[in-house]
């Protein structure tokens, strides 16, 4: 019997990493598309948000940060868990880990969605809203560019952590649709880091056909 069910959709960004973790580490979880199981999903998760995870005894886990943490703990590999999650005992590093995960999952995710969605026709184009989202994103891009200039990954120089994976997820939405060649040339450290994560074992199978935007698309 599966250890649980992950409700997922390829229309969304936050479930990317939970699904990649299950697939890469061959965790014994069912991955169910929420749009093919709407009745069951809404019964179990009235918030209707993805990722959502339920175990056979009915325990529910929502919120991407919690779902990812839970899945990594199912590896039962202390060394790998420490690499991906950091250690509670190392307060500085653990605080940074939470910092980057939270930023990625809230402000960065939301501003990226606000900026990209109108360009790809998911919401009507509103000039002021798009400009505001871009201004906010530019500030965050500077923050990421600066940290990744100093070190190879968000937390360290040596290995990918959950902070990198969770930041990568919303950036895929931008890199695929709007952050073209010119943007990438002006953000060499984010771009170098993004390609590194894209080619890393945990996510590479989920992004086999990934293509970068060539240039920012024309406004609709
Ligand atoms: N706070 C939640 C947010 C989850 C969330 O909003 N997920 C989006 C997909 S990225 C969703 O399910 N949206 C459905 C909708 O807006 O109807 C988390 O951190 O996981």
- Count how many residues are written for the chain: 220
**CB contact at 8 A, 34 and 58:** no
CA 119 / ligand 1 centre spacing (Å): 20
Centroid of ligand 1 to alpha carbon of 169 (angstroms): 13
In the sheet that holds 52-54, the strands lie side by side as 29-33, 4-8, 52-54, 60-62
Q: Which residues contact 5 (CB under 8 A, 6 or more apart)?
A: 29, 30, 31, 32, 53, 54
Average pLDDT, the chain: 96
| Res. 215 pLDDT band, cuts 50 70 90 | confident
More confident site: 1 or 111: 111
| Segment 72-85 mean pLDDT | 97
Environment class of 200 (CB within 10 Å of its CB; exposed 0-12, middle 13-18, buried 19+): middle
Portion of the chain with pLDDT greater than 70, in percent: 100
Count of CB atoms situated within 10 Å of the CB of 208: 6
pLDDT at position 56: 95
Regarding the beta carbon of 50 and ligand 1, being less than 6 Å apart is answered yes
Q: Which of 154-158, 164-168, 183-187, 214-218 has the lowest mean pLDDT?
A: 214-218
Q: Is 68 in the pocket of ligand 1 (CB under 6 A)?
A: no
Residue range 8-59, pLDDT digits in tens: 999 999 999 999 999 999 999 999 999 999 999 999 999 999 999 999 999 9
172 lines ligand 1 (CB under 6 A): no
pLDDT score recorded for residue 220: 67
Which of 9, 11, 12 most suits a substitution to test ligand 1, by most atoms within 8 Å of the C-beta? 12
Is the shortest distance between the CB of 160 and ligand 1 below 6 Å? Answer: no
- Cis peptide bond prior to 183, omega within 30° of 0: no
For the stretch 193-205, pLDDT in tens is 999 999 999 999 9
Chain-centroid distance of CA 214 in Å reads: 22
Query: Is 63 a pocket residue for ligand 1 (Cβ < 6 Å)?
Result: yes
What phi and psi values does residue 4 have, to the nearest 5 degrees?
Answer: 165, 180
Is the pLDDT at 219 greater than 90? The verdict is no
Cα 115 to ligand 1 centre (Å): 17
Q: What is the largest CA-CA distance in the chain?
A: 51
Ligand 1 binding pocket includes 69 (Cβ within 6 Å): no
Asked whether the predicted pLDDT for residue 77 surpasses 70, the reply is yes
* Cβ(133) – ligand 1 distance below 6 Å: no
Residue 32, SS3? strand
Task: Report the pLDDT value the prediction gives residue 216, as an integer from 0 to 100.
Answer: 81
Distance 90 CA to ligand 1 centre (A): 30
**Ligand 1 within 6 A of 117 CB?**
no
Domains of the chain: 4-76 (3.40.30.10), 86-207 (1.20.1050.10)
What does the CA dihedral 211, 20, 40, 34 come to, rounded to 10 degrees? -10
């Amino acid at each position: 019997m599966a250890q649980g069910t992950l409700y997922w959709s390829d229309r969304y960004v936050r479930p990317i990493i939970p699904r990649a973790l299950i697939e890469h580490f061959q965790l014994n979880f069912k991955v169910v598309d929420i749009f093919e199981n709407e009745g069951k999903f809404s019964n179990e998760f009235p918030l209707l948000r993805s990722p959502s995870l339920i175990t056979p005894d009915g325990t529910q886990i929502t919120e991407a940060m919690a779902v990812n943490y839970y899945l990594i703990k199912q590896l039962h590999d202390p060394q790998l868990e420490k690499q991906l999650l950091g250690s509670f005992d190392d307060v500085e590093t653990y605080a940074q880990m939470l910092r980057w995960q939270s930023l990625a999952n809230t402000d960065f995710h939301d501003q990226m969605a606000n900026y990209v969605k109108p360009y790809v026709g998911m919401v009507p184009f509103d000039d002021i809203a798009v400009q505001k989202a871009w201004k906010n994103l530019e500030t965050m891009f500077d923050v990421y560019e600066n940290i990744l200039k100093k070190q190879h990954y968000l937390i360290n120089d040596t290995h990918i952590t959950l902070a990198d994976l969770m930041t990568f997820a919303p950036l895929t939405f931008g890199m695929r649709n709007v952050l073209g060649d010119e943007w990438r040339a002006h953000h060499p450290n984010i771009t170098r880091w993004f390609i590194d994560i894209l080619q890393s074992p945990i996510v590479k199978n989920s992004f086999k056909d990934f293509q970068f935007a060539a240039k920012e698309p024309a406004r609709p």
